[in-house]
Structure 1
Amino acid sequence: MSNTRQAIATAKRLVVKVGSTALTTAGDGLDVSRLDALVDAVAARVTGGSQLVLVSSGAIGAGLAPLALGTRPRDLATQQAAASVGQLALAHAYAESFGRYALTVGQVLLTSDDVVRRAHYRNAERTFSRLLALGAVPVVNENDTVATEEIRFGDNDRLAALVAHLIGADGLVLLSDVDALYDGDPRDGATRKVTEVTGESDIEGLTVGMSSSGLGTGGMVSKLAAARTAAAAGIPVLLAAATEASRALAAADVGTAFQAAGSRLSARRFWLGYAAGATGRLHLDDGAVAAVIGRRRSLLAAGVTGVDGDFQAGDVVDLVDPAQEVVARGVVAFDVAELPAMIGRSTHDLPAEHRREVVHADDLVPLRRSRSMR
């Protein structure tokens, strides 16, 4: 067994994410037998001594049948209506199922504001810590009932990665209708299963497919992005089929394992790199990219070639290379209106009030150089 799988199998604090397709059936709503099977696996891990947070999709899917909706609605208002019905049904089903093991469930509904805003982030962290200390199993979902297009996470895979870091998890398990990562569409018999991912070179050039159920919003693209986010932040990840939840949460000998980076990011640096919303972009030349990524230096005005967005000093911005790929994220020291007159100029050529870093190294998080995944 690899060290990554061993780490997940023995993790004392674990986040498990389950997708809509593992809990609901198109046209029939919530599938209680599937939910019970998942709870059996989770309860075995919890009663064995681990603390576990369950990030569960399925609220909208659970609300379709009661509202006589045959397919997942496309408009936000109907999605919110389905979620308001489905969240109640889903929470009740989890409470009943975990009750078979005398385990208490606590529901935690989040919007992206709860993670993007630092004060909310700390509040959420305290809530999770107290629930786990009291022996409860927090069940998390995006608050689809009130989330708008501007503040929603977009998928629960990303939410699970953020929660995993927020609670200081020792591992993240992503369960879906696909049993592993493949180098192509898994429905094509010629594709190869990827069992271990030890770095970016293992997944460069992969063409990953989407879930075909029509119930979920993530697909393999979002699962891969979430796994890379968590692994880059120092958290090992296992991607497996929900039907193999028992093995995934016991021996962890199924699916695809993603090796964690050598060190775990601090809460502030993780928030800056992966949770905070960026309000603009700074375009960098190749020399600035090398300094920021390769040598972990501050970004100076001389290395900036362009500016996009509407931001003020103290806001978070993306740093992009000449190929338009995001290579870092940081807190900008100037308003957007100040920068056009500064870009490309050496520090000693600037007015005295502008002779400082555009983004200081202490406020900058280099990100892996991303490859487009289709």
Structure 2
Amino acid sequence: MREDVRVNLPLANRAGVARAPRIVVKVGSSSLTAADGSLDLPSLRHLVAVIAARRAAGQQVVLVSSGAIAAGISPLGLPGKPKDLATAQATASVGQGLLVARYTEAFGRHGQTVGQVLLTAEDLIRRQNYANAQRALERLLALGVVPVVNENDTVATDEIRFGDNDRLAALVSHLVRADALVLLTDVDGLYDGPPTRPGTRLIRTVTTGADLAGVEVTGRGSDIGTGGMVTKLDAASIATGSGIPVVLTSAANVEPALAGEEVGTWFAATGRRKSARRLWLAHAAQVRGRLHLDAGAARAVTDGKRSLLAAGITGVDGDFEPGDAVELVGPDGVVARGLVAYGSQELPAMLGKSSAQLRENGDTLPRAVVHRDDLAQVRPRRRR
């Protein structure tokens, strides 16, 4: 995967969003859809007007927009969001054309051109696809075009089950090496509980994971969208862990948010820019199985940045081949992902054995089960 030549340091605060050379803006279905399921054209045109003004001021903007399935509901006369995959795919096919037509018309009023970019997980899993997507987006931006990115729901199945573009927006932010990611939703920021419950508090700034301690979020969004605050926090974690700060606020606040004003929740960058390969491993690679590690091995691959050896593995789950991506699970949950050097049929006989023992058993050149160059750490999450 070719890395982009842009070199950018994390923004120190939200005021920097107004001066950032390149940003990604993500808007959800609930912010673009009227009560009857049709596209809310006034809201869409307001969003476009704000982005067009930023673009006219010299800022490059990539727009990640949900809404294809929602836009197709009304033309097809459906009573609501489709429940089955085939109907959802057909609805997305109808709605995507309508959605892009509205964006083309709205940006055209400001003398600006849009380009549609449809992505699936394959475009972030396969290295050649990743490089092609990166090259296309870079060229669109260089030509002064506003890329409108969406999941290719018509042919993708995982994306429809995932149900929202939050994670995609975070990955696209890394793909184009954006200076900031702005997530627009139907609430004005992150609250420490349900926003409608009396006494809940808006969290203005998140600088470390400790700031999220005790925060109560739900996994379901609106009836039209299927995201929710959980997917927003996942996206924020992906972006900030890769050195990209995030602003989370409502679509109604898009203008002050892009102007760098104190609206919504600011997630400060917590990590450094990752290589495309490690980001792919951590967040986009299709996992085929799990390796269970003892505490010592978990520390070795995280704190020690060392390769994973068979001696530290206590169990194997899944059906995978050499070169597949697997999760590494320590006593406290998933700690890393990596490309495994052995298949699931070979590994059980190797568990707990040192390199010397493996040589005694006939493996003259025992390899690391997962080499450190093929490892990407992830934030620990508890097993379900």
Please confirm whether the aligned pair reaches a TM-score higher than 0.5, indicating the same fold: yes
Residue 258 (structure 2) pairs with residue 249 (structure 1): yes
Which deviations, in whole Å up to 9, do the C-alpha atoms of 1:42-90 show, x marking residues without a partner?
A: 1111111111110000111111111111211111111112111111111
Contact 1:296 1:366 in 2 (8 A): no
The equivalent of 1:100 in structure 2 is 109
Aligned to 2:131: 122
Deviation at 1:209, TM superposition (A): 2.8
Q: Does the aligned pair in 1 maintain the 2:240–2:270 contact within 8 Å?
A: yes
Corresponding position of 1:208? 217
Separation (CA, whole Å) in 2 of partners of 1:219 and 1:44: 29
Is the 1:95–1:105 contact (alpha carbons within 8 Å) kept by the matching residues of 2? yes
Structure 1 pair 151/319, CA: closer, same or farther in 2 (3 Å)? farther
Q: Taking structure 1 as reference, are residues 112 and 328 closer, same or farther at Cα in structure 2, changes over 3 Å only?
A: same
Q: What is the alpha-carbon distance in structure 2 between the residues aligned to residue 357 and residue 238 of structure 1?
A: 41
What does residue 111 of structure 1 align with?
120
Structure 1 match to 2:356:
348
Partners of 1:30 and 1:62 within 8 A in 2: yes
The offset of 1:101, in angstroms, is 1.0
Deviation at 1:150, TM superposition (A): 7.9
Superposed displacement of residue 272, structure 1: 1.3
Change (3 A) 1:28 1:306: closer
Query: 1:65 & 1:197 partners in 2: Cα distance?
Result: 39
- 1:238 maps to which of 247, 270, 295: 247
Find the counterpart in structure 2 of residue 33 from structure 1.
Answer: 42
**Long gaps (5+) in structure 1:** none
Matched residue type, 1:350? L
Give the Cα–Cα distance (whole angstroms) in 1 for the partners of residues 382 and 46 of structure 2. Answer: 36
Q: 2:24 aligns with which of 3, 7, 15?
A: 15
Give the partner amino acid of 2:356.
H
**Counterpart residue type for residue 315 of structure 1:** D
RMSD (Å) for aligned C-alpha atoms? 1.8
Q: Offset at 1:205?
A: 3.5
Report the Cα distance in structure 1 between the residues aligned to 2:357 and 2:261, rounded to whole angstroms.
58
Any idea what the Cα deviations from partners look like across 1:124-160, whole Å, max 9, x if unmatched?
Answer: 1111011111000000111111112488654200110
Contact 1:184/1:209 (<8 A) preserved: no
Whether 2:365 is the aligned partner of 1:368: answer no
For the Cα contact (< 8 Å) 1:4–1:258, is it kept in 2? no
- In the TM superposition, 1:133-282 aligns within 5 A as 133-149=142-158, 154-210=163-219, 213-282=222-291
Q: How far 1:372 sits from its partner (Å)?
A: 8.2
Partner of 1:289: 298
Larger CA deviation: 341-350 vs 170-179: 341-350
Q: By how many angstroms is 1:340 displaced?
A: 0.5
Q: What is the CA distance between 1:8 and its match in structure 2?
A: 2.6
Structure 1 pair 183–98 and aligned structure 2 pair: CA distance change class (3 A): same
Deviation at 1:26, TM superposition (A): 3.4
SS in 2 for 1:306: strand
Select the residue among 344, 358, 362 that pairs with 2:369: 358
User: By how many angstroms is 1:202 displaced?
Assistant: 1.1
* Matched residue type, 2:203: V
Q: Which residue of 2 aligns with 1:309?
A: 318
Deviation string 1:215-237 (CA, Å, 9 cap, x unpaired) is 00111110110111111111111
Task: Provide the aligned length of Structure 1 versus Structure 2.
Answer: 371
Instruction: Tell me which of 331, 334, 339 is aligned to 1:326.
Output: 334
- Counterpart Cα distance in 2 of 1:63 and 1:340: 49
Instruction: For residue 97 of structure 1, report the CA deviation from its aligned partner.
Output: 0.4
For 2:349, what is the secondary structure of its paired residue? coil
Once the two structures are overlaid, the 10-residue window that deviates more, 140-149 or 53-62, is 140-149
Matches of 1:150 and 1:310 in 2, distance apart? 23
Check conservation: 1:204, 1:371, Cα contact below 8 A.
Answer: no
**1:163, distance to aligned residue in structure 2 (A):** 0.6
TM, length-normalised to structure 2: 0.93
1:336 aligns with 2:344: yes
Identity %: 58
Paired amino acid for 2:369: V
CA distance in structure 2 between the aligned counterparts of 1:357 and 1:4, rounded to whole angstroms: 42
**Letter of the structure 2 residue corresponding to residue 160 of structure 1:** A
Unpaired runs of 5+ residues, structure 2, are 1-10
User: Do the aligned residues in 2 keep the contact of 1:248 with 1:254 (CA within 8 Å)?
Assistant: yes
* AA aligned opposite 2:18: A
Superposed, which structure 2 residues align to 1:67-106 within 5 Å? Answer: 67-106=76-115
TM superposition score normalised by structure 1 = 0.95
Q: Secondary structure at the match of 2:174?
A: helix
